Amino acid sequence: MHRLTAALGMPQHRFASIHVVGTNGKSSVVQMTAALLEAHGVSAGACLSPHLLRWSERVQVRGSEIDAAPFAEAVARAAEAANVVNRSLEEGEAVTQFEVATAAAFVALAAARVEVGVIEAGLGGRLDATNVIPSRVTVLTNVGLDHTEWLGDSLAEIAAEKLAVLRDHSVLVVGPTGPEATHLAEEAAELHGARLIHAPEDPGVGIELRARGPFQRRNFAIARCAAQAFLGPLDEDRVRSVAGEILIPGRLESVGGSPPVIIDAAHNADGAAALAEALAEIAGDRPVIACIGILSDKDAAAMLRALAPAVDLIVCTELPPQALRGAGRPGSRPWPASELAEICASLGIDAEAVSDPAAAFEATRREAAARDGLALVTGSHYLLAALCDD
């Protein structure tokens, strides 16, 4: 990644940066932070991952998805640089798809002349493609057991991987997380001479969010601290305005219809628990019928166990590997729908298996309509992408 960005002229040094790492909530915190900066007169961009429908969704400029032409130009430049770098690498090594996408985002943000880029880490932190930015503020949203095959088997190991992006004499904002991760954050801040800010659980009295769910209040509280760490004191009226306007695609998003359909990108146990907490408020007494697809590297049993109190029936499905490859997860495979249904049965959850995602979604909607309930799609960004695209 250093070679790739060097070949591109180090575009990530042409704007100030805020780096957002953590297990859950990164995309929401990135977009909320960028919106708060914009509301205070700072030209902001964002680098997000993954996307739902288009790769260009990964780059936002001044609050909007980048236009097709400048995105295509940035991708072309990054791809050309990748070809140059590949010729210098050892046999069997090559610039990855995610590295090209990240470099293209840096090129696009630099070309757009944003003052600050809010950058979401893809996986972990220490070895992530985004870890080439000279961030003035680092945000750790939370730490959970996810991607353990890459990041470690314990919360301490995972937290250490994420905190490794912290720069000397910067600011570290830490969201509500466990004592182990909090202690490591305190040690990292001391080691790097960084100012440490503990974000509260809630953004404060009088802040009403358009984005639904208790987890989004926690995310907005983190974003508020991140923006303040970068700018200094914020204007309360502008903070309230952003809170009342911003919506995060794919996070407790209502896509209408009859019965009502909610999509949420929860893809690990902590995310599923946050979703279950929010569904209890949103659904009330109405039953929730869930269409779920989960990638094979996830702890499906933990996710389903976390969702169990909030759903009445689960329709288990899966995504073809070729769809995952095109969406940015080459080599990934889904849990078979039949195995997910077996896990549900072992947990005492009513479930059925429908391998085709479109058919599974229709079965979910039919059952939700019959029960006068809500239809939910969750378990993976890539399931949301497949069904939204249809």
When comparing pLDDT for 111 and 331, which is higher?
Answer: 111
Band (150; pLDDT cuts 50, 70, 90): low
- Please determine, for residue 20, whether its predicted confidence score (pLDDT) is greater than 90: yes
Residue spans of beta strands (DSSP E) within the chain: 16-21, 44-47, 59-61, 64-65, 116-120, 137-140, 171-174, 195-198, 253-254, 261-263, 288-292, 313-316, 351-353, 374-378
pLDDT for residue 281: 86
- Please determine, for residue 390, whether its predicted confidence score (pLDDT) is greater than 60: no
Percent of the chain with pLDDT over 70: 98
Q: Would you state the structure tokens that stand for residue 263, as one six-digit string?
A: 């999509």
| Average pLDDT value for the chain | 94
- Please determine, for residue 146, whether its predicted confidence score (pLDDT) is greater than 70: no
Band (329; pLDDT cuts 50, 70, 90): confident
Domains and CATH numbers, the chain: 2-245 (3.40.1190.10), 253-389 (3.90.190.20)
Band (256; pLDDT cuts 50, 70, 90): confident
- Please determine, for residue 333, whether its predicted confidence score (pLDDT) is greater than 60: yes
pLDDT for residue 102: 98
Write down the residue that tokens 């095109």 correspond to. 326
pLDDT for residue 111: 98
pTM: 0.94
Q: Would you state the structure tokens that stand for residue 312, as one six-digit string?
A: 């009445």
Per-residue pLDDT tens over the stretch 73-107: 999 999 999 999 999 999 999 999 999 999 999 99
Backbone torsion region of residue 264, taken as left when φ is above 0, otherwise alpha when ψ lies between -120 and 50, otherwise beta = beta
Band (144; pLDDT cuts 50, 70, 90): confident
- Please determine, for residue 234, whether its predicted confidence score (pLDDT) is greater than 60: yes
Band (141; pLDDT cuts 50, 70, 90): very high
CA distance 100 to 78: 6
Residue spans of beta strands (DSSP E) within 212-312: 253-254, 261-263, 288-292
pLDDT for residue 370: 97
pLDDT for residue 138: 98
pLDDT for residue 239: 98
CA distance 139 to 116: 15
- Please determine, for residue 27, whether its predicted confidence score (pLDDT) is greater than 70: yes
Distance of CA 105 to CAs 49, 55, 66, 122, 184, Å?
A: 11, 10, 10, 13, 30
Percent of the chain with pLDDT over 90: 86
When comparing pLDDT for 26 and 146, which is higher?
Answer: 26
Distance of CA 360 to CAs 35, 313, 315, 365, Å?
A: 36, 12, 6, 9
Strands 64-65 and 59-61: antiparallel
With CA atoms as reference, report the closest residue to 242 among 41, 42, 27, 32: 32
Least confident of 37-51, 125-139, 182-196, 313-327: 313-327
pLDDT for residue 161: 92
Band (154; pLDDT cuts 50, 70, 90): confident
Mean pLDDT, residues 135-140 taken together: 98
pLDDT for residue 130: 98
